[in-house]
Amino acid sequence: MIRPDEGCRLCGLCAGRSRIVLPSGPTDASVVLVGEAPGENEDLSGVPFVGRSGRILETAMAEAGFSRDDVMITNTVKCRPPGNRDPLPEEMAACRRFLESELAGRSLIVGLGRSACADLMGIKPPMSEIANVITTVRICGEDIDFLPTYHPAACIYRKEARERLAEAMSIVRSRL
């Protein structure tokens, strides 16, 4: 895997970060979950999905019968955007080589949320139309199964998102 160095300055996100947030979990996992960007807790700890969204994700995984130890978890960008805004296209492009090196050779990639799905799919359809429909994405010249689904943060306010995330984690479990 290619990783950014500690002094990475490929985009403007470096100005406000505490630390670069690298993937967590087994580096040889067959399944990778991809969020859009680190939040405040992730920026402080250097680990993806450790805040409120992380707790929601861990609960959904546990209910499906697996844990963080079974998958690798990463983000499209490795530094926190200001105000927890969505990463900009140029910020995602700056981290793309790191992300692709993390995703190459996997059997399933799960996109968590609209921004991550749009970055990996190259299109921005409504989540309600694409959630939990397996398609493929091209990573390093290889077609890899891709499962777009709702971001755990969407589950805080939307019952449909909670149900769809639970379904997605069941699909992941079937692929482990």
Split at pLDDT 50, 70, 90, the class of 124 is confident
Fold adopted by 12-175:
Uracil-DNA Glycosylase, subunit E (3.40.470)
pLDDT tops 90 at residue 93: yes
φ/ψ of 144, rounded to 5, equals: -125, 140
| Confidence at residue 58, expressed as pLDDT on a 0 to 100 scale | 97
Q: Are the C-beta atoms of residues 47 and 24 closer than 8 Å to each other? A: yes
* Domain edges within the chain: 12-175
Q: Average pLDDT, stretch 161-168? A: 97
Average pLDDT, the chain: 96
pTM: 0.96
pLDDT at 125: 85
According to the model, what pLDDT value does residue 120 have?
A: 95
Per-residue model confidence (pLDDT) at position 82: 95
Give the model's pLDDT for residue 123.
Answer: 87
SS3 for 76? coil
**The pLDDT of residue 87:** 94
Q: Please compute, for residue 23, the number of CA atoms within 13 A of its CA located in the half-sphere on the CB side.
A: 25
The confidence score (pLDDT) of residue 100 equals: 97
